């Protein structure tokens, strides 16, 4: 396949930047690069354009560097929130991809970013917060914090018993404890009054009231004969 040398007028990903002298297939140059204004044939006249192209390229790259540096500072303060569907056990259906992160940046913060600049070693498959590396420029990187939340409603927890019943139980326990303390205090007082070696006196019992006597039955008298 015949090759030809061309001078790039614009940056072409995978091929080069403006002012670069590259070799490409003759048909590719003739049918695409030249008609689209992306390159010009190598000639003495076109060589004089290289210096101006280099200057324009330097200005563009400096602008891109400054823009991406400022963007990296802003992104480091943001939290992109993505909502996904999960099962009742909290496991996600599917995964979060670089394209989803790019879409969320656009929707949430109006930041247009090529998904190829979002570097994910593996798709995100767990809820919570994750740090994602953004390769904004060959010399500029940033870290974006992404929070993945579930849209599935959580199960309703069972209701706790009424507060009144628990307070009644606590009050009853307090009364029982108070009675126990009083009995213990009385026992200590009685023990302190006893002499050494003596048993504490038993509490005196109140005398029982005397039983009422039954009235005497009257003797029967026989009538006189």
| pLDDT tens profile 23-52 | 999 999 999 999 999 999 988 888 888 888
Other Cβ atoms closer than 10 A to 67: 13
- Which two three-digit tokens encode residue 216? 């005497």
Distance CA 166, CA 45 (A): 96
pLDDT tens sequence across 112-167: 999 999 999 888 999 999 999 999 998 999 999 999 999 887 665 566 555 555 55
Q: Domains for the chain: give ranges and CATH numbers.
A: 3-48 (3.40.5.10), 73-150 (3.10.430.100)
Q: Are 151 and 169 in contact (CB under 8 A)?
A: no
- What pLDDT is attached to residue 225? 43
pLDDT tens sequence across 174-217: 666 666 566 666 656 655 555 555 555 565 565 666 655 555 55
Residues of 122-154 as b/e, b for ≥16 C-beta within 10 angstroms? eebeebeebebebebbeebebebebebebeeee
pLDDT tens sequence across 62-76: 999 999 999 999 999
Q: What angle do CA 202, 205, 210 make, to 5 degrees?
A: 155
The β-bridge partners of 172 are none
Q: How far is CA 215 from CA 38, 53, 91, 212, in A?
A: 140, 143, 94, 9
């Amino acid at each position: 396949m015949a090759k030809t040398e061309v001078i790039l007028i614009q940056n072409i990903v995978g091929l080069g930047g403006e002012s670069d002298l590259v070799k490409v297939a003759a048909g590719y140059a003739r049918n695409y690069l030249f008609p689209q204004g992306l390159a010009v044939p190598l000639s003495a006249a076109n060589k004089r354009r290289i210096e101006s192209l280099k200057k324009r390229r330097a200005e563009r790259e400096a602008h891109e560097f400054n823009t991406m540096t400022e963007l990296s500072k802003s992104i480091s303060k943001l939290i992109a929130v993505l909502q996904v569907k999960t099962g009742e056990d909290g496991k996600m259906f599917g995964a979060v991809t670089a394209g989803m992160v790019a879409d969320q940046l656009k929707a949430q913060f109006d930041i247009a970013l090529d998904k190829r600049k979002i570097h994910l070693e593996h798709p995100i498959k767990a809820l919570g917060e994750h740090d994602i590396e953004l390769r904004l420029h060959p010399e500029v990187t940033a870290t974006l914090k992404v929070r993945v939340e579930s849209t599935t409603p959580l199960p309703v927890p069972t209701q706790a018993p009424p507060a009144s019943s628990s307070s009644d139980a606590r009050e009853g326990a307090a009364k029982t404890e108070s009675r126990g303390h009083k009995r213990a205090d009385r026992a200590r007082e009685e023990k302190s009054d006893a002499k050494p070696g003596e048993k504490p006196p038993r509490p005196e019992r109140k005398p029982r009231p005397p039983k009422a006597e039954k009235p005497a039955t009257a003797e029967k008298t026989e009538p006189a004969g």
